[in-house]
Amino acid sequence: MGKQYETVIGLEVHVELATKTKIFCGCSTAFGAAPNTHVCPVCAGMPGALPVLNRQVLEYALAVGLATGCQINRYCKFDRKNYFYPDNPQNYQISQLYLPICHDGGIDIETPEGVKRIGIHEIHMEEDAGKLIHDEWEDCSYVDFNRSGVPLIEIVSEPDMRSADEVIAYLDKLRLMIQYLGASDCKLQEGSMRADVNLSVREQGARQFGTRTEMKNLNSFRAIARAIEHERGRQIDLLEAGEKVVQETRRWDDAKEYSYAMRSKEDAQDYRYFPDPDLVPVAVDDAWIARIRKRQPEMRTEKRKRYLEEFDIPDYDAGILTSSKKLADVFEAATAICGKPKKVSNWLMGETLRLLKENNQDPQDIRFSPEHLAKLVDLVDEGAINGSVAKEVFAEIFARDVDPGQYIEEKGLRIVRDEGALRSAVEEVIAANPQSVADYRGGKDRALGFLVGQTMKAMKGKADPAAVNQLLRELLPRQ
C-alpha cells in the first residue's frame, strides 16, 4: 500500500468588475470594440497623465468584501507593481499590496462531509493590462489598450480546499454571489472571471505544506477540475520518484490536457512594490460601509426562501431559478407581469435551459425580455395558441426576442375558433381514417389521439386540441 496524499489548494480569482468606465479614467470598458478605440492618455500611459480612482470600483469591492464576510481596511492604498511588458503601458500595474481593501473573510461551501468554510485571505483592487496581438507573418506584435485599465478585484483564498470538487463548489458560490451583487457577470470563457490554482500535496497527516505550483490559463470549471487532477498526479509522481516539486508558475493546455512550466521562483521578478504617489489613500468610514450593507441585494438563500413563500412554487424550482441571478431576474420580472409563477418557472426550467444547453450557453447569455415570456404565458392561457405552437414561438423569443403577439399574427398561428372550419376538418379526418374510427369505436382510446393529431395537422396546428378532442367525441359517440 503506497502513501496517502492530501491535496492542498488555494485560489487567486480575478474578477472583472461591471463598471461602465475604467478604474482610473473615463474610458468605456465595453468588450469587443475595435482595437485602441477605448483609450485615453491615462490608460495608454502617456507622460504626465494621472490616474483618478473610479468610485464604483471601490463600492463593488466593498460589496464583495461584505458579502464574503471580510474585514474592511478603513484606510487603504494603491501600490505600484513594477515590471516591463508591452501590454502594460506604464510598465507598472496599479494594484494593492500593503493595505488591500478587504481581508480575512470566508464563504461556506457544501461538501459531502457537510458545510465547510473556505477562508479568504484578502481582496484587492487593480487594473487589467492591454492585449498583445502577435502577427506571425510580419514578425511583429500589436498592442490593444482597450482592456488596459479595466477594473479587477483579486480574491485570494486561504489554502483551505482539498479537492477539485471543493474548488468548483467554492468558485460556483463565489461566482453566484458576485453575480447577485451585480459586481461582475463572471464569465470564465470571456475572461471576466479567471482563476489561478495554487496547489501542493503532502502526506496525509503531515503538518507542513508541500511546495506549491501556480496553474494559469484555466478557462472553464472543467479545465480547472482536470488541471487539478493532473497537477496532483504530477506532484505525487515526482515525490514517489524521490524528486522535488519546483515552485513555479505553470500554464494549462486544456486541449492537450497537459501543463508546462512558464517560470520558476528563481527567475521570479522583483516587482519593487511601493505606494502609488499619484493616488490618495482611501478612507472608508462606518457610514459608507453601512450604506453599502443596506444596499446589498437579496442573496440566493433568502431569495430561494422567499420564492417558496411568495410564489408557492416547488423548492426544486426555486433552487434552479436562484442558481443564476439572470434566471431569477427574468423569473421575477415575467411573473410580475403575468402573475403566473409556476408557468413562468416551467418555461425557464424547461425550454430555456434546454436551448441554452443546446447553444452551449449559460443563463447569463439570456437575451430575451421577460415581457415577451410573460406575454407568451398569457397567450397560452387565453387559448390563443396551443402548446406545440407555443414551443415554436418560444424558440423565436429565445433566439431573437420576438414579440409573441405580433409573431403569431404575422405567421397566422392563432388558434382557429371557426366552428365550421374545425367541424369540416374533423369530418374529413373521420372519413379518411375508417380504421382508426373503427378502432376507437371498438374501445381503443389511443385511436382517438391519432385522430386528434391528424386533425391538428390538417389545421396546421392552429386548433385547440381540447376542442378537437371534444368534437371528435361528439361525432363518434360510443355506446
- Give the nearest distance from C-beta 101 to another protein in angstroms: 16
d(CA 317, CA 304): 9
Of 21, 68, 73, 90, the one binding another protein (CB under 8 A) is: 90
- Give the nearest distance from C-beta 61 to another protein in angstroms: 17
- Give the nearest distance from C-beta 40 to another protein in angstroms: 9
- Give the nearest distance from C-beta 210 to another protein in angstroms: 24
Residue 206: partners with Cβ closer than 8 Å, 6 or more residues away:
6
- Give the nearest distance from C-beta 94 to another protein in angstroms: 11
d(CA 441, CA 372): 43
313 binds another protein (CB under 8 A): no
Helix-then-strand count for the chain, H and E: 16, 16
Which residue, 92 or 311, has its beta carbon nearer to another protein?
A: 92
Of 6, 12, 35, 45, the one binding another protein (CB under 8 A) is: 45
Of 80, 147, 250, 303, the one binding another protein (CB under 8 A) is: 80
- Give the nearest distance from C-beta 42 to another protein in angstroms: 8
- Give the nearest distance from C-beta 130 to another protein in angstroms: 10
Furthest-apart CA atoms within the chain: distance in Å: 96
Stretch of residues binding another protein (CB under 8 A), selected from 39-47, 54-62, 203-211, 285-293: 39-47
Enumerate the H helices of 133-282 as residue ranges. 164-181, 221-240
Decide: residue 451, CB within 10 A, 0-12 exposed, 13-18 middle, 19+ buried: buried
Which residue, 49 or 353, has its beta carbon nearer to another protein?
A: 49
Q: CA angle, 260 as apex, 259 and 262 as ends, to 5°?
A: 130
Which residue, 148 or 192, has its beta carbon nearer to another protein?
A: 148
Q: What SS3 class is residue 392? A: helix
d(CA 376, CA 393): 8
Contact 73, 45 (CB under 8 A): no
194 binds another protein (CB under 8 A): no
49 binds another protein (CB under 8 A): yes
Of 37, 71, 91, 296, the one binding another protein (CB under 8 A) is: 91
Of 2, 32, 48, 412, the one binding another protein (CB under 8 A) is: 48
449 binds another protein (CB under 8 A): no
Q: Tell me the backbone φ, ψ of residue 17, rounded to 5 degrees.
A: -80, 155
How big, in percent rounded to 5, are the helix, strand and coil portions of the chain? 40, 20, 35
d(CA 314, CA 279): 52
The dihedral through the CA atoms of 340, 345, 348, 350 has a sign that is negative
277 binds another protein (CB under 8 A): yes
92 binds another protein (CB under 8 A): yes
Stretch of residues binding another protein (CB under 8 A), selected from 149-157, 247-255, 275-283, 439-447: 275-283
β-sheet with 248-253: strand ranges across: 71-72, 102-111, 114-127, 151-157, 5-16, 193-203, 213-216, 248-253, 258-264
319 binds another protein (CB under 8 A): no
- Give the nearest distance from C-beta 46 to another protein in angstroms: 7
Which residue, 272 or 367, has its beta carbon nearer to another protein?
A: 272
Of 278, 298, 382, 418, the one binding another protein (CB under 8 A) is: 278
Of 1, 3, 4, 47, the one binding another protein (CB under 8 A) is: 47
β-sheet with 274-275: strand ranges across: 92-95, 79-82, 274-275
Q: In the 8-state DSSP scheme, what is residue 352? A: I
The residues facing 155 across adjacent strands are 13, 123
Of 20, 110, 222, 274, the one binding another protein (CB under 8 A) is: 274
Of 65, 89, 151, 404, the one binding another protein (CB under 8 A) is: 89
Site for another protein in 386-445 (CB under 8 A): none
Which residue, 40 or 236, has its beta carbon nearer to another protein?
A: 40
- Residue 173 in grid coordinates: 458560490
Where do contacts with another protein occur on this chain (CB under 8 A)? 41, 44-53, 80, 82, 84, 86, 89-92, 143, 270, 272-274, 277-280
